[in-house]
Chains A and B, each alone.
Chain A
Amino acid sequence: MKTVNHHGRHTRVAAMGFLLLVFAAPPAWSATLFVSNERGNSVTVLDSNTLKTIKTIPTGQRPRGIVAGPHGKWVYVAVGDSNRIDVIDVAKLAVTRHLPSGADPELMAVGNDGNRIYIANENNAQVTVLNAETGKLLAEIPVGSEPEGMRVSPDNQITVATAEGSSLVHFIDNKTLKLAATVLVGTRPRVVTFTPDGRYVWASSEVGGTVSVIDVSTHQVVQTINFAIPGMRAEFIQPVGITMSMDGTKAFVALGPANHVAVVDTKTYKVSDYIVVGQRPWHMALSPDGSKLYTVNGFTNDVTVVDVKSLKPEVSVRVGRLPWGIAVVP
């Protein structure tokens, strides 16, 4: 098994993970993990049981945003410097087609019907909406500068997009494909996600150092969450990735150069734990049964597996160069 060990602590963690993998009964689920490597121009494919690299898929230039379609057939990769979306056929583990994304796509979202793909064009201050199958352009929606975070609501009615340079969260009505509302949040919002019930949107502000919780029905910020790790300078606490636990009781917030993932109670908005992971964790994803959290660590070129129940990091596995995002296909 490939492990990457950068500190004494990680060595121990990795060794423990190795033992667990050898002696524990195999989980009742398995999944394929797709990790985009921004510098490596590739996607690393891992088997969730063995945590071994199955394949490294070459992509266009600068792969960042990576999302799985709802039916497990396709994985979409935004290759910003190639100005397109590469589409990976999950059965073939290869890029088999491209979508015309518009300039410099960074991150995108697919609704759970899988019909549309919503793309943030970082360098072009717009959101591009395409038919996910045919690539037909459905809309180009002007937003604030440097759009990045994208998410479709669980009921497919709304898409939210952040404008990083403008500190805005935009709500797009998926019926009209027009802006329905715009909300001001902390400085440089990067990732948005819905609570599983669809009532709230959580938005991370990387430079502001906060997470804003927005009520979807009123478009009001109802809570601003702050983070503090003893001994860690405030300016290094830079929230990026947000992933909700499957039951919606916990939110995991990746804190970038602080090298930790915060665990937030979604009822009280209190931070209960800070989990040490690899260096510069940004994006994250859950295993299909919600028992494991995968964090993608850009500076240590690895993915840390965190046990959701015990909140313990179990193992870190090496992926490609400067990994950015992750998609999980059951």
Chain B
Amino acid sequence: MKLAIAASVAALLALTVAATTSATPAGPQGANGSTVKSNEVVTHYAYLGKEYREPAPLSLLKPAVIADEGLAGVRLGTSYNNLAGKFLGLKFVLDETMVPQDGDVVAAAKKLLASGQHLIIADLKAPDLLAVADLPQAKDAIILNIRARDDVLRQTQCRLGVFHLIPSDAMLTDALAQYLVWKKWTRWFLVRGKHPADIEYANDIKRSAKLYGAKIVTERAYELETGARRVDTGYQEIQTQMPMLTRGVPDYDVAFVADKSNSFGLYLQYRTTDPRPVVGTDGLVATAWGAAYESYAAQTLHDDFLKLAHREITVRDYEGWLAAHLLETAVQQGKANNVDTIRKYISSDNLKLAGYKGEGMNFRPWDNQLRQPILLMDPLSLVSISPQPGFLHPNYNTDTLGYDEPQSLCKFSK
């Protein structure tokens, strides 16, 4: 074990020491304003993503495909890292791997690991993420999950080397549930799609309802043949379908929709039989980020992102940026760039990751999930931020969101 770490550190350093004699950043006494090339400390990290085939969003205002989603955020983070780094003698180098739709993620990961990359920003779905994390070569790697919200990755399928920046679905439904309970909107009509992911998300909603004392008055499953998203006078069909789906429901306060593949949720709003707000995967959503969020200096990130990518930032872009920023924070504040020191730093509660959420964030030691406030947003504005007032926890109030230590099924095998 010890030898393996030493070897991997050596591999990383082999890439970094070209112009450096020490793995310790210059630190406070750092630089005098100009770039000091001679003792620059270089940190390499990799982005690993895949062009998954995904259904296009129903809204025509959203692009059907964003080729650089996630990656653009990592690029922006890297440019920030180097902006600060040039004053401290630190340099950050991003290695980008985008696996094509029919490509092999595991093969790409093996290649990265063989080249000495042990800091991997993973923009992958859960099965690929696990396949990469379980590679023997990845035993000492740090894998930053910026995409997969599956609860199981924080529970029975947790991995010691995988750190989750993106919140789990359970955190999102808890964030919404707290707000709904605070509003006293505690009678929920659960409308879900029929895909496995929808069923899992519906289970999260049920878990949150139980936890916070809300009632699910009824549950309905629905499947809409998505078809073409542009149809002449297609609204007429929707206008008759949605009332049929929502007819004869016992009195409720909100329609809680679980439609992770975005196939009908958008169509519920204003079309339910009873006039009720829609929350969940559409309407009022819980998310780590949104383009209309501007508190805690967030506007800077939006403006810089727009300059770089010429489009609105998405939650995956934000997580990509945050992953790069996490690595910068670890190297800068932890004062070393070898994998072992970075792991120790990001695993400790000394980590105070700044993600434009107003408070320093760190990882839950029991499942490597980043603690974080969750935004509640409609498409055009911030509605609230959870945890809500009055939802308290002995350690971190954000631990009221998602699986807390007593409920954790994660057992890291070392």
Partner of B80, one of A123, A143, A145, A185: A145
B251 at the interface (CB under 8 A from A): no
Within 8 Å CB of A187, what residues of B?
Answer: 329, 333, 352-354, 360
Partner of B83, one of A144, A178, A209, A235: A144
Within 8 Å CB of A179, what residues of B?
Answer: 32-34, 87
A7 → chain B closest CB, angstroms: 15
Within 8 Å CB of A221, what residues of B?
Answer: 28
B27 at the interface (CB under 8 A from A): yes
Tell me if B28 and A165 are in contact (CB < 8 A): no
Tell me if A164 and B88 are in contact (CB < 8 A): no
Tell me if A146 and B297 are in contact (CB < 8 A): yes
Nearest CB to that of B398 among chain A residues?
Answer: A235
> Provided the pairs A125-B83, A163-B84, A235-B359 are in contact, do residues A182 and B300 lie with their beta carbons within 8 angstroms?
no
Partner of B360, one of A146, A170, A220, A235: A235
Partner of B33, one of A180, A207, A220: A180
Within 8 A of B (CB), among A161-195: 163-168, 170, 178-188
Partner of A145, one of B32, B300, B352: B300
Could you mark each residue 130-148 of chain A with 1 if its beta carbon is under 8 Å from any beta carbon of chain B, else 0? 0000000000000111100
B22 → chain A closest CB, angstroms: 16
Tell me if B359 and A182 are in contact (CB < 8 A): no
* Cα–Cα, bound, A144→B300 (Å): 13
Tell me if B332 and A123 are in contact (CB < 8 A): no
Tell me if A166 and B32 are in contact (CB < 8 A): no
Within 8 Å CB of A168, what residues of B?
Answer: 84, 87-88
Tell me if A167 and B333 are in contact (CB < 8 A): yes
Tell me if A165 and B80 are in contact (CB < 8 A): yes
Tell me if B28 and A236 are in contact (CB < 8 A): no
Could you mark each residue 355-374 of chain B with 1 if its beta carbon is under 8 Å from any beta carbon of chain A, else 0? 00011100000000000000
Within 8 Å CB of B303, what residues of A?
Answer: 123
Tell me if A182 and B88 are in contact (CB < 8 A): yes
Partner of A122, one of B28, B84, B300: B300
Within 8 Å CB of A257, what residues of B?
Answer: 358
Within 8 Å CB of A145, what residues of B?
Answer: 80, 83-84, 300
Partner of A182, one of B32, B329, B354, B358: B32
Within 8 Å CB of A188, what residues of B?
Answer: 354
Could you mark each residue 143-168 of chain B with 1 if its beta carbon is under 8 Å from any beta carbon of chain A, else 0? 00000000000000000000000000
5 A-B pairs with least C-beta separation:
A179-B33, A166-B84, A182-B87, A235-B359, A207-B354
Within 8 Å CB of A166, what residues of B?
Answer: 80, 83-84, 87
Listed by A's residue number, 30 A-B pairs whose Cβ atoms lie within 8 Å are: A122-B300, A145-B83, A146-B300, A163-B84, A164-B297, A165-B297, A165-B300, A167-B333, A168-B87, A168-B88, A179-B32, A179-B34, A180-B33, A181-B32, A181-B33, A182-B32, A182-B87, A183-B30, A184-B27, A185-B28, A187-B329, A187-B354, A188-B354, A207-B359, A209-B352, A219-B29, A220-B28, A220-B29, A233-B397, A238-B358
B197 at the interface (CB under 8 A from A): no
Partner of B88, one of A184, A233, A235: A184
A114 at the interface (CB under 8 A from B): no
Tell me if B33 and A182 are in contact (CB < 8 A): yes
B31 at the interface (CB under 8 A from A): yes
B299 at the interface (CB under 8 A from A): yes
B391 at the interface (CB under 8 A from A): no
* Cα–Cα, bound, A164→B300 (Å): 11
A208 at the interface (CB under 8 A from B): yes
Tell me if B31 and A123 are in contact (CB < 8 A): no
Nearest CB to that of A171 among chain B residues?
Answer: B33
* Cα–Cα, bound, A122→B83 (Å): 14
Give the one of A122, A163, A167, A207 with max B CB within 10 A: A207
B361 → chain A closest CB, angstroms: 8
* Cα–Cα, bound, A144→B87 (Å): 8
Within 8 A of A (CB), among B97-136: none
Tell me if B33 and A178 are in contact (CB < 8 A): yes
Give the size category of B's interface with A.
20 to 34
Nearest CB to that of A179 among chain B residues?
Answer: B33
* Cα–Cα, bound, A233→B392 (Å): 11
B112 → chain A closest CB, angstroms: 28
Partner of B28, one of A146, A163, A184: A184
Within 8 Å CB of B352, what residues of A?
Answer: 186-187, 207-209
Tell me if A208 and B360 are in contact (CB < 8 A): yes
* Cα–Cα, bound, A181→B84 (Å): 13
Give the one of B27, B32, B329, B396 with max A CB within 10 A: B32
Could you mark each residue 208-251 of chain A with 1 if its beta carbon is under 8 Å from any beta carbon of chain B, else 0? 11000000000111000000000001011010000000000000
A207 → chain B closest CB, angstroms: 4
Within 8 A of A (CB), among B310-332: 329, 332
* Cα–Cα, bound, A164→B28 (Å): 16
Tell me if A207 and B360 are in contact (CB < 8 A): yes
Within 8 Å CB of B297, what residues of A?
Answer: 122, 146, 164-165
Within 8 Å CB of B29, what residues of A?
Answer: 219-220
Nearest CB to that of A190 among chain B residues?
Answer: B297
* Cα–Cα, bound, A166→B79 (Å): 11
* Cα–Cα, bound, A143→B88 (Å): 12
Within 8 Å CB of A123, what residues of B?
Answer: 299-300, 303
Give the one of B30, B31, B299, B352 with max A CB within 10 A: B352
Tell me if B300 and A180 are in contact (CB < 8 A): no
Within 8 Å CB of B80, what residues of A?
Answer: 145, 165-166
Within 8 Å CB of B360, what residues of A?
Answer: 187, 207-209, 235
Give the one of A166, A221, A236 with max B CB within 10 A: A166
Within 8 Å CB of A122, what residues of B?
Answer: 297, 300
Tell me if B332 and A184 are in contact (CB < 8 A): yes
B250 → chain A closest CB, angstroms: 40
Within 8 Å CB of A144, what residues of B?
Answer: 83-84, 87
Within 8 A of A (CB), among B5-46: 27-34
Give the one of B32, B80, B360 with max A CB within 10 A: B360
Tell me if A238 and B84 are in contact (CB < 8 A): no
> Provided the pairs A181-B33, A182-B33, A187-B333 are in contact, do residues A236 and B354 lie with their beta carbons within 8 angstroms?
no
* Cα–Cα, bound, A187→B329 (Å): 8
* Cα–Cα, bound, A144→B82 (Å): 9
* Cα–Cα, bound, A184→B29 (Å): 8
B164 → chain A closest CB, angstroms: 19
A240 → chain B closest CB, angstroms: 12
Within 8 Å CB of A184, what residues of B?
Answer: 27-28, 30, 88, 332-333
Tell me if A180 and B32 are in contact (CB < 8 A): yes
Partner of A170, one of B87, B300, B329, B359: B87
Nearest CB to that of A210 among chain B residues?
Answer: B352
Tell me if B359 and A238 are in contact (CB < 8 A): yes
